[in-house]
Every structure is written in C-alpha cells, then in structure tokens.
A and B are shown apart, each in its own frame.
Chain A
Amino acid sequence: MQRIVIVGGGFSGINVANKISMKTKRKDVSIILIEPREDNVYEPFYLYWSFRKDPLKKFHIPIRKVLRKRVQHIPALATKIDTKNKSVDLSNGETIRYDYLIIATGARMAEEKVGAYEKDNVHHFYLTKATTELQEALKNFNGGTIVISPSTVPYKCPPAPMEFAFMVDRYLRKRKIRDKSTIKFLYPLLRPYPERRVAAKIQELYDKRGIEFVEFFNFERVDKENNKIVSLEGDEIDYDLLVLIPPHEGHKVIIEAGLGDREGFVPTDRFTLKVKDQDNIYAIGDCTNLPVSKSGAVSHFSAPTVAKNLLLEMEGKEPTEKYDGFTICFVVTSPRRSLLLFFSYAYPPKKFGLHNLFIYGLVKKAFKIAYFKAILRGYL
C-alpha cells in the first residue's frame, strides 16, 4: 500500500485529498491530511464579515464533516519535512512517512513585518481575529479618512482590497457618515486593476462613489506615531483608519526544509504542479510560486491535475497532465453586485458580464453554498 501525505488542510488540501480519495481504492492507497485546525474557513466571507457580526458557523465548517471517511485527518502541525527520508515530523511528537507528499500549506500572514497591527486604527480582514478587531474599529468609526492598501504582492484574492473600498463606501452611506469620510484606495500600479478595461470600469465606479484612487503606491512602512502610510516612491498619506493587507510569505516548515524560494513559496512546475527538483512531491494553492492569483479558484482548477499526475506516477507513468493556469475571479462592487473575470497563463484577465452586475452578485453569494456542499468535498 502506498501512502500519500498532504501537509495543510485549508481548501486546497481538503479538496485534493477528497479528489484522490474518489479516484483510488482503500486497499491500494492511504491518505493522511495533516492540519492543526479542526475547522475549514470560507475565507472570501471575511470581506462581508468585516461589516456584520454573523456567527462563525456561517462560514466555518468542521473539517471532519467535509473530508471523505477514508482520509485520515491528524490534527497537528507539521514541524519538519525531511525529503531525504520521506517523512514529516508533527507537533504531537509523531513522525509520518510518505511515499508521495502534497504541500498545501497556504500563505502565512506575516503581520509582524508591518509592526503596526497592535494599534487600534490599523487592521486587516485576512484572519478571523484580525477581522473581529476590524469590525469593532468600523463600528467605532465616526468619520475621517479610511485608507486601504496591499502591503506586498502577491497576496490572496487580488481584488479584495479594491472590493473592500466598495463595501466600506456602502457601509458608511448606510450609517449616514459618508459625507464626513474620505476613502482612499492605494495600489502599486498605474490603475486600480492590472487589466485595462476592467480597471477603467472600476475607476468609473470609484468616481461615481467618490472613492479616491492613489496610483503607484508600493507600501514601504507605517508611521504609526503620526498615522501615516509611506510608499517606496516617497509618498505619505494620512489615515484615521488603515486597512492594510498583511505581507504574505511561505510557512516556516517549507523554508526550513529548503523547499521555498526567497519568499518561502514553493517553486512549482506551472503545468504539472510538481515541486521543482523533487521526485515525489506536488504543491497546490497559495503555497506555490505559480504566476497566477493566490485564490481558491486556482486551487480548484488545478486540483484535478495534481490528483491525476500523482496517480500516473503511482502507476509508474510520466505525469503528463497539464494545468493551463485557467481561473476565474469575481470582483465585488457592492454586497449584491460583482464582475466576473477569467484568465489563464496564455491570456490576461478578460471581463465577462459587466452589463449584468446584479446576476453575478447573486452568483457570488450562492457560491458559498456550492463551496461547502460540493467543491470542498471534491464533487466539482
């Protein structure tokens, strides 16, 4: 019997574990998922959750509930990956040997690199605790300047900070304090989205809603004593409330195993999804260095390639299945409206459905149901 060990049980790890489980037999293959958390979080919901205190169960689900029965979940942290001896050390003292390894550790939110999140006016919405603090800060905000900015690229869900600007605009209007507030969206590029036509549409909507776009702002540091954010280009912008996407990097276990690049992301063949210079290791999701978005959609569309290539290798064949980089992205422009984009390695983002924002807004909301019921479970 061969053993597949998956390190990391976020969306990517669970999804690929379920897919492999559906394509193999219990007597031939054992599948182990290593993930310290007991719950899976539907992370896109953080954007909405920043503005309303829904119970956690609305976007958390126990991993055991969505993992197929024959996949063994070990609730521990992987502390060491030994590629030479094909083993993984765990925080509970166990050492697990593997025949094939799938790295699905995601990206680490390097909050300590900003050195300002301890302030009550510097926040983000990429983790549960941070988002609850942002909820309070927004509730207590009674006018002033809200500044929204990424800190580094890449970060998960590229449109998220731009979407947050739309959402905060609506929130302030609802609270009738929009006229006492300024919203500034800072971005590293010349326009508010990489693709020109999409950027033009977003700029049009920003103009309509009075959201100020600041171009070419590459975050350098927070001057937390003076409530200023400073760019590499030398600009300084005052804020009363700063929403700063934290720096993303690879996890310690990846870096210490020598499996990461300079940012700790795993160098991965963009087509086969096999880890470069490794014989029996694949990587999926936000932990990779793939030249596409860090998003659940990329994990979803690449999971069949990982599963198929791994099974081909187990049969002694070449891993010939190729992921073409295809993915989709919903860009939320209000709680009920969004744009749909699709792109791949071969072509940049193309917009679709700009004429019918309302329908795609509904699709985005309905997507959460599909996520828990079908996608996470590996059915789609």
Chain B
Amino acid sequence: MFMTKYDIAIEIDARGSFCPGPMMELIKAIRQSEVGEFLSLLSEDEGTRNDVPAWINKAKHELVEIIYEDGYDRYIVKKLH
C-alpha cells in the first residue's frame, strides 16, 4: 500500500487496463467504501485523465489529488456521500 498523508481505505491498481477499466474499478470501489474514506486509483491509461475527474465531478465526490508517478498516475479520491 502507498504510504501517504491520506489514510487509504481501498487501493485500486488498474495499470494495464484501458478505459473504461480504471473508471469502472473506481466506481465499484466507491460503492464498497464508506462515506469519508479515501481511495487510491492507479492508472496508466491516458483517457483516465479526462474521464475520472469528470465522473467525480458529476457524482459529487472529491478528487483530492493526482500524483504523477513514474509511468502512471495516482488519483486520490474521497467519498463524500
């Protein structure tokens, strides 16, 4: 598990999967998590950079941070409701 200032409840490693894989994995994890928990999504798919922030905005959760790692991105998401 990634060591961060956030207490990550679920980490989703969607590297190696194309859209809609990473986003659908995130949505599944959102369904399983509790309000207030942080989730971490790992994706190397370029489409995710557009789709995930747009979905989080639509679904009214919080995209806390995107961390650009070596060859992939880490999205920190907080479930708000």
Contact = CB atoms under 8 A, between A and B. Distances in A.
Interface of A: 153-154, 188-190, 194-196, 215-216, 218, 232-234, 291, 343, 345, 348
Interface stretch (B1-9, B15-23, B35-43, B67-75): B15-23
21 contacts: A153-B20, A189-B19, A189-B20, A189-B51, A190-B51, A190-B54, A194-B18, A194-B20, A194-B47, A195-B19, A196-B47, A215-B58, A216-B58, A216-B59, A232-B30, A232-B59, A233-B59, A233-B60, A291-B17, A343-B18, A348-B19
Nearest to B50: A190
B63 interface: no
B20 to A, nearest CB: 5
B51 A348 contact: no
Given A190-B51, A190-B54, A348 B27 contact: no
A158 B23 CA distance: 15
Interface residues of B, number: 19
B27 A232 contact: yes
Interface in B22-65: 23-24, 27, 30-31, 47, 50-51, 54-55, 58-60
A233 B30 CA distance: 11
Interface of B: 16-21, 23-24, 27, 30-31, 47, 50-51, 54-55, 58-60
Nearest to A220: B31
Contacts of A233: 58-60
Contacts of A232: 27, 30-31, 59
Contacts of A216: 54-55, 58-59
Contacts of A194: 18-20, 47
Contacts of A215: 58
Given A154-B24, A233-B58, 20 more contacts: A153-B20, A153-B24, A188-B27, A189-B23, A190-B50, A190-B51, A194-B18, A194-B19, A194-B20, A195-B19, A215-B58, A216-B54, A216-B55, A216-B59, A232-B31, A233-B60, A291-B16, A345-B16, A348-B18, A348-B47
A93 B18 CA distance: 44
Contacts of B30: 232
B32 to A, nearest CB: 9
A325 to B, nearest CB: 10
A189 B31 CA distance: 16
Contacts of B24: 153-154, 188
A194 B27 CA distance: 15
Contacts of A218: 27
A188 B20 contact: yes
Nearest to B59: A233
A195 to B, nearest CB: 8
A218 B31 CA distance: 11
Nearest to B31: A232
A194 B17 CA distance: 12
Nearest to A347: B18
A188 B28 CA distance: 12
Given A153-B20, A189-B20, A234 B60 contact: yes
Contacts of B58: 215-216, 233
Nearest to B58: A216
